[in-house]
Structure 1
């Protein structure tokens, strides 16, 4: 029987591992295959919310140990990912990503000789296990006669990342250091052939997001729908058809036993992991989460699987303040559930967090 919207939300929360105890930061990311992470602070909490009891320092330590990196495994968007899963994804997506950014590379004056010079400069600067933050590496580019301004340096890094050459590794005072991927985190497994890689990626996608459709998976990976259908066929009875086009792992996790309120970061996979987000977010409120459809997803307040508002963090002399702006008036039970979520966020920050809810406002 096809899940109802309420059942779908419950199943997806369980698959996403939100507030589900018993895993590590690395284990949480492995479960998800990749976690969208163009904003470092947001992705640290995206991992933390899936690792109850872990602190921000615990999540940073997984990057510092080389268990996790950030790179562009698909859609030209930064994600947190295990190094071997990054290699797996790039084996499927890199060629398509490079084609999609070729025109912009030409506009920036990036030709093969310039890319070769950037590659040589990057290897020379980072060899021997060195890690440089972006501006330090761009200084090396300038010394080699490469102008990194106007987005050129960032675009060169994006291209080199598709070769599996560089990734963002250990945390720094501000941001992360860039490293040579194979030096920083040598491969532990071989990249399989394409059909097996497709099967693994689909299973990984469903493990962290199911139930979902083939169209959802295609949107997330930006792979052709035909590839996802091949992956579905290869997966056999490890994947179950729930009706309505919804697929889930046959051995999906049980539901229940977790909190009902959550404060999710901006760009969280609970929303961005799907092409059709209507089960989690009423389309009527979509522009409250993405104001002006500008691509910037605000942090979300979630109760019983529904996005019920947004929230923001304000720094204070001691700790922080979390303020929820609901789409409509919240009942006392929902407020208490979100207050409990703020307490979990305080444990993650290892700092006091004051919690408040402002009056719901109309559009």
Structure 2
């Protein structure tokens, strides 16, 4: 028998699953990152603010996040959608393995634009050797790789701030970001010699058994297509994607849910809570690039009103700070200025958040 529920119930349930009700557990930044299946860290301050928005006590929380990175309980690397993320260290191998399963760097168009597969193989071997027990800046890594590979053409690609040719190395478990240099330059190192207890990358099917339930625990119920868009912009091999979900369904880890006529997937253990989801009416001011938006994606009309999407997803890939209310984006904000899409949002709730953030 398929469980049925409404979108209102789903969205309020997600709010609590994403710890917008600020439970005691959210005092631990590592627990927050794990609960959200990673936190986008393209803008470091936004990642710190995303964690702080869920903490039970006001305060930036930035130092706690930075401490967790220094302690190597959080790992910074390229993950979902090719963007920089903070990942819980034990969960990180599953993220990287599942993104890497798409093998996007093997596509002809990618090789034509960037480097060939043969060059990528030389690059991976050179980086693996250069980063053995070492932490190198981008410039130091470039010098070491070009010398080892004997291919000066690699230097131009390695120097790109976008890290396009380095991302496949992350997804193969060759490198992660290291601690910032004294002059704040980015550094890289090998996860197996840097991250305590690093287990190496699992088989993609095994990784799926970790990451799909983790995603659905914060952003479910959802379709396999929505998961794939979140993971790698829909690049997963479709047969593999179907097999991952079918296996979890057959094993009773996942179940199908009918949400107002849509057949979606949820964790089997969440069905009872979904059916009896309690209301969550608190207003939250969430930072730029928050997982509340990125998890389901800005194209989800239940979360982001289509007529206001351009205010949320802006030019250059910028995701605006948002007003979250009843599981939906109800506005955007910039400092003390708030633009509401839904006038039912309680003004006292907004003011309470502004005081918490010391905006008023």
Task: Identify which of 243, 248, 253 aligns with 1:227.
Answer: 243
Residues 336 and 67 of structure 1: is their aligned pair in 2 closer, same or farther, counting only changes over 3 Å?
Answer: same
Counterpart check, 1:326 vs 2:339: yes
Residues 111 and 285 of structure 1: is their aligned pair in 2 closer, same or farther, counting only changes over 3 Å?
Answer: same
Report the alpha carbon displacement of residue 285 of structure 1 after superposing the two structures with TM.
0.6
Q: CA RMSD in A?
A: 3.3
Report the alpha carbon displacement of residue 300 of structure 1 after superposing the two structures with TM.
1.1
Equivalent position of 1:251 in the other structure:
269
| Separation in 2, partners of 1:162, 1:330 | 44
Equivalent position of 2:82 in the other structure:
76
Task: Identify which of 309, 314, 329 aligns with 1:291.
Answer: 314
Equivalent position of 2:174 in the other structure:
165
Aligned 8 A contact 1:70 1:78 in 2: yes
Counterpart check, 1:41 vs 2:45: yes
Equivalent position of 1:354 in the other structure:
359
Equivalent position of 1:310 in the other structure:
332
Counterpart check, 1:57 vs 2:63: yes
Counterpart check, 1:201 vs 2:211: yes
Task: Identify which of 25, 29, 36 aligns with 1:32.
Answer: 36
**Deviations for 1:328-359, whole angstroms, at most 9, x for unmatched residues?**
4746x633212322344x4xxxxxx323xxxx
Q: Which moved more, 1:25-34 or 1:216-225?
A: 216-225
Equivalent position of 2:285 in the other structure:
263
Report the alpha carbon displacement of residue 61 of structure 1 after superposing the two structures with TM.
1.0
| Secondary structure in 2 matching 1:263 | strand
Residues 147 and 215 of structure 1: is their aligned pair in 2 closer, same or farther, counting only changes over 3 Å?
Answer: closer
Residues 188 and 328 of structure 1: is their aligned pair in 2 closer, same or farther, counting only changes over 3 Å?
Answer: closer
- The normalised TM-score by structure 1 is 0.78
Correspondences of 1:87-126 after superposition (within 5 Å): 87-99=93-105, 103-109=109-115, 112-113=118-119, 116=122, 119-120=125-126, 123-124=129-130, 126=131
Aligned 8 A contact 1:279 1:306 in 2: yes
Structure with larger RCO (C-alpha < 8 A, sep 6+): 2
| Secondary structure in 2 matching 1:80 | strand
Equivalent position of 2:352 in the other structure:
340
Aligned 8 A contact 1:198 1:227 in 2: no
| Separation in 1, partners of 2:205, 2:188 | 31
| Separation in 2, partners of 1:108, 1:213 | 32
Equivalent position of 2:187 in the other structure:
177
| Secondary structure in 2 matching 1:311 | strand
Counterpart check, 1:22 vs 2:24: yes
Equivalent position of 1:317 in the other structure:
none
Aligned 8 A contact 2:142 2:158 in 1: no
| Separation in 1, partners of 2:157, 2:319 | 25
| Secondary structure in 2 matching 1:69 | strand
Residues 182 and 150 of structure 1: is their aligned pair in 2 closer, same or farther, counting only changes over 3 Å?
Answer: closer
Extract unaligned runs of 5+ from structure 2.
Answer: none
**Deviations for 1:84-125, whole angstroms, at most 9, x for unmatched residues?**
32222333331414346653343335563575257425643x
Equivalent position of 1:361 in the other structure:
none
Counterpart check, 1:273 vs 2:295: yes
Report the alpha carbon displacement of residue 177 of structure 1 after superposing the two structures with TM.
3.3
Q: Which moved more, 1:74-83 or 1:136-145?
A: 136-145
Extract unaligned runs of 5+ from structure 1.
Answer: 313-321, 347-352, 356-363
Residues 67 and 171 of structure 1: is their aligned pair in 2 closer, same or farther, counting only changes over 3 Å?
Answer: farther
| Secondary structure in 2 matching 1:9 | helix
| Separation in 1, partners of 2:279, 2:10 | 16
| Secondary structure in 1 matching 2:346 | helix
Residues 114 and 289 of structure 1: is their aligned pair in 2 closer, same or farther, counting only changes over 3 Å?
Answer: closer
Report the alpha carbon displacement of residue 309 of structure 1 after superposing the two structures with TM.
1.9
